[in-house]
Amino acid sequence: MMSDSAINQLAGKDFLTLFDYDSDEIADLLTLAKDMKQRHKLGEIYQPLKGKVMGLIFEKASTRTRVSFEVGMYQLGGTGLFLSSKDIQLGRGEPIADTAKVLSGYLDGIMIRTFAQEDVETLAKNASIPVINGLTDTFHPCQVLADLQTIEEVKGTLKGLKIAYIGDGNNMAHSLMIGAAKMGMHFSTAAPEGYLPDETIVNQAKEIATESTITVTTDPVEAVKDADVIYTDVWASMGQESEQQKREQLFAAYQVNQALVNHAKPDYLFLHCLPAHRGEEVTASIIDGKHSAVFQEAENRLHAQKALMTALLADA
């Protein structure tokens, strides 16, 4: 299990992007997530957050994020308080800074799932309690904790593995790239011109990746070649629904199908953050096949988020 001293080192820290965490801190969170899962499977009651309240602000819809945080807080002995932007003053124009200061007087932590990364940064800057980025258009670090946990469970290690992300250079591409760089994994990604990951984020990740490589290409075959892990996401994320038809045409050559995965290692692992559109970004035979661990990955959202909340909110 993650040591108490390691938990104390992270107590009170924000979780806005994986750039802010070093490899040892991420490894500590993964160790704690493994411990959380073992306790859960054994039916053991473990409530280090008894009496704590986590505010959960949602400006974007969610299944896995909402359930993992609410259930996680309950299992840890605390309370997850769902706060829809439609029901609080933030949705009626109250400044984020004011909301942060008010909620800091009521809560022990805040998780926010929203559009702009700068809104999360402003919330954290003005809050006196830990803030967790539950997703923005730029980053999705909570998902990547569960992804890394799943890869480690299946493959037994992270360092030296190659993960290939195929599709839109979005928040998942960014956070996976950072996570891979931090943990010594090779990362490759492929998307059409105009849909590649943000160049600034790519360059920052390359500076971190001293023991591995980062490849950005428009060729999905090149990206998948000899990959240990293949990852994809929907072609049109929340807020991009009007672009669905256009993106279907642009990304048709980037579907994860049998022809593409034949270029990966024979024992490749397939992951998807879900929800998935079978027949679009991935074929049913792949996502429902023997190489897929998408539901193990989805379950790990619970254990990874419990680890994160325990590390940031538990009393020193």
Among 70-79, 152-161, 231-240, where is mean pLDDT lowest?
231-240
Is residue 277 a part of any domain in this protein?
yes
Domain that holds residue 251: 141-297
Pair 100, 216 in one domain = no
- Mean pLDDT, rounded, of the chain: 95
Does the structure show a pLDDT above 80 at 1? no
Structure-token match 């199908």, residue found: 257
Tokens for 156, please give them.
């037994």
Pair 232, 278 in one domain = yes
Local confidence band at 4 (pLDDT 50, 70, 90 cut-offs): low
Does the structure show a pLDDT above 60 at 71? yes
DSSP reduced 3-state for 137? coil
**Is 233 annotated in some ligand binding site?**
yes
Is residue 264 a part of any domain in this protein?
yes
Count of domains forming the chain: 2
**Is 143 annotated in some ligand binding site?**
yes
- Asked if residues 225 and 232 have their Cβ atoms less than 8 Å apart, the reply is no
Pair 156, 207 in one domain = yes
**Is 39 annotated in some ligand binding site?**
no
Pair 169, 119 in one domain = no
| DSSP, residue by residue, 180-206 | HHHTT-EEEEE--TT-SPPHHHHHHHH
Among 23-37, 198-212, 241-255, where is mean pLDDT lowest?
241-255
Does the structure show a pLDDT above 80 at 2? no
Is residue 2 a part of any domain in this protein?
no
Phi and psi torsions of 118, nearest 5°: -65, -30
Is residue 220 a part of any domain in this protein?
yes
Pair 215, 104 in one domain = no
Pair 92, 229 in one domain = no
Pair 274, 307 in one domain = no
- Asked if residues 12 and 312 have their Cβ atoms less than 8 Å apart, the reply is yes
Pair 151, 233 in one domain = yes
Is residue 190 a part of any domain in this protein?
yes
The whole-angstrom separation of Cα 92 and Cα 19 is: 32
**Is 135 annotated in some ligand binding site?**
no
Reported as type and span, the H/E element at residue 165 is: strand 162-166
- Mean pLDDT for 71-79 is 98
User: What CATH number has the domain bearing residue 39?
Assistant: 3.40.50.1370
Pair 179, 277 in one domain = yes
The whole-angstrom separation of Cα 4 and Cα 129 is: 20
Pair 176, 273 in one domain = yes
Render pLDDT for 88-112 as a digit per residue (tens, 0 to 9). Answer: 888 678 999 999 999 999 999 999 9
User: Which residues are catalytic, by number?
Assistant: 113, 140, 143, 233, 273, 301
Pair 22, 153 in one domain = no
**Is 64 annotated in some ligand binding site?**
yes
Tokens for 269, please give them.
């692992």
